[in-house]
A and B are shown apart, each in its own frame.
Chain A
């Protein structure tokens, strides 16, 4: 039996989708849901590693150069199918996504597990994987909409009225952003009759030789608005941070990873289509700087721990945007590398907050304190996470931030290098303020009855935190294990 024909890239999307449908129907049957959830998590974790790098066609046929044999049939050179591309970079993204999805499921495993909750996690895995792999712009739109639905549903899972309010705001904005992307796609389809990104790239390249058509600029603007929403950039940073802060922290860790990967994947698509529009990079750079600065400034003034982390996540997404906006090959490579690194580092902090909330039942930092000796290794791991997010050596984000700073200076933006360093310092200050109020400040009422005994919490959180810290350190110490694959990916784009 040839395993290559079984473990195809399509399975990375199809399996979580099927698991989501099954789990949804099993809702209410706790034991069965747990069993199916465990199987789904294991398969989702294993699938990215056993799937070989390949290009997968849903129906249709691969591109053909010539047809011989006396036939007068003209076969198209276009990708007359939905194409999924699965290479090293996609493998890395989906594997990290799977780890954080399994954390979001397994950390709450001792509680009663909701089938719909696990289903939405699986839906999130499927939709993000599809956006990362798809080379078809309409397919990307469909899965972006599914992603919005799954994220809103994961916020609703909290069950509070505040969560419902956040979810409906997110869906209203998501509906408008989705329509914006679809209108951009409609304009492209109207002008070129194509949906495949590679084919559109070739068609647009020929078209813009005679000048950039107005329709192309309009399509670019519309899809760009959608990108801003999906990546939580200014002006959508408030709604995105609201979503992170209202969801369970373990789910927020998963969501911020989805956002960063979608940010990169969608930017790659936009770049391949609209690289001819000179202002595009300047726009990305502008919103990147604004998101980075607003994010970190808002983080500094927060009194809620979840909001603090949410704004730091937005600021870090802004930093990724800055690297992409600089637009040189070195900056883009460093930026994609930072998206991977920051997703891992931010997840450590969100997971540590998961333990804190389990004990304190409040997000208000003014009511917290005294948890340093109550939560095992969590404060130590949290501190390592803070260093990782702030870009300190020997962690992975140091490698990527250093590369972005170097690329900014080389590209002629030395002032941007200073801004990135200042942002890193401000991030460290904001996070250390949170660390102090949670762990070092004097104890609060919730600890008085059990002052001397450690407080119970899910040990699974600690396991995942250790794993993430180990991955951050491993990438930080040996970036050559990851970085060349990203370099190779950026080279193959052919437009930078």
Chain B
């Protein structure tokens, strides 16, 4: 099996690993900073799934009815003249989406870090068992 064939499954496996590690950190780790990093790991894993989905996959931008009638999109019709490129071209939409998703993740990460600093200054600890001890009192 060639490296190219393995690339997409390996990316999905890595993404699954990131999500699992992130979930573990969020659920089981006591340190608030590690929980925050866990959330970003989950987000990174999902971004990896999103972008891997577009790897080397030409998705026809046509309606299902048009597809049934054998119509192909003008965007990809032109690619038939360049079979080598068409075989390797990635679907560009996920790349644009991931860019937006990363910006959102960074924003949430920044706010969470700012709050974590506030909480650390107040409790002098990053331990959730200390910070959330009297939350229900």
CB-CB under 8 A from A174, the residues of chain B are: 108
CB distance from B121 to the nearest CB of A (A): 10
Q: Is the contact region of chain A dominated by helix, strand, or loop, or is it mixed?
A: helix
Query: A73 vs B78: C-alpha distance in the bound complex, in angstroms?
Result: 11
CB-CB under 8 A from B53, the residues of chain A are: 186-187, 189-190
Q: How many residues of B contact A (CB 8 A)?
A: 52
Give the nearest-CB partner of A138 in chain B: B97
CB-CB under 8 A from A193, the residues of chain B are: 59-61, 91, 93
**A152 lies within 8 A of chain B by Cβ:** yes
Query: A146 vs B103: C-alpha distance in the bound complex, in angstroms?
Result: 11
- B63:A202 contact, CB within 8 angstroms: yes
**B131 lies within 8 A of chain A by Cβ:** yes
- B49:A183 contact, CB within 8 angstroms: yes
B interface footprint on A419-431 (CB within 8 Å = 1, 0 otherwise): 0000000000000
- A80:B50 contact, CB within 8 angstroms: no
CB distance from A83 to the nearest CB of B (A): 14
Query: Would you list which residues of chain B between 83 and 137 have a CB under 8 Å from chain A?
Result: 91, 93-94, 97, 100-101, 104-105, 107-108, 111-112, 115-116, 118-119, 122, 131-132, 135
Q: A175-B42, A192-B59 known; 18 other A-B pairs, CB under 8 Å?
A: A73-B74, A74-B62, A78-B62, A149-B107, A152-B111, A156-B115, A161-B119, A164-B115, A168-B32, A168-B115, A171-B115, A174-B108, A176-B26, A179-B42, A182-B50, A193-B61, A206-B64, A207-B64
Interface residues in chain B, defined as those with a beta carbon under 8 Å from any beta carbon in chain A: 19, 23, 26, 32, 35-36, 39-40, 42-43, 45-47, 49-50, 53-54, 57, 59-66, 68, 71-74, 77, 91, 93-94, 97, 100-101, 104-105, 107-108, 111-112, 115-116, 118-119, 122, 131-132, 135
Q: List 25 A-B contacts (CB under 8 A).
A: A74-B66, A74-B77, A76-B66, A76-B73, A162-B135, A164-B122, A167-B111, A167-B115, A168-B32, A168-B112, A168-B119, A172-B39, A172-B112, A174-B108, A175-B39, A175-B105, A175-B112, A176-B42, A178-B104, A179-B42, A179-B46, A186-B53, A189-B94, A193-B59, A203-B64
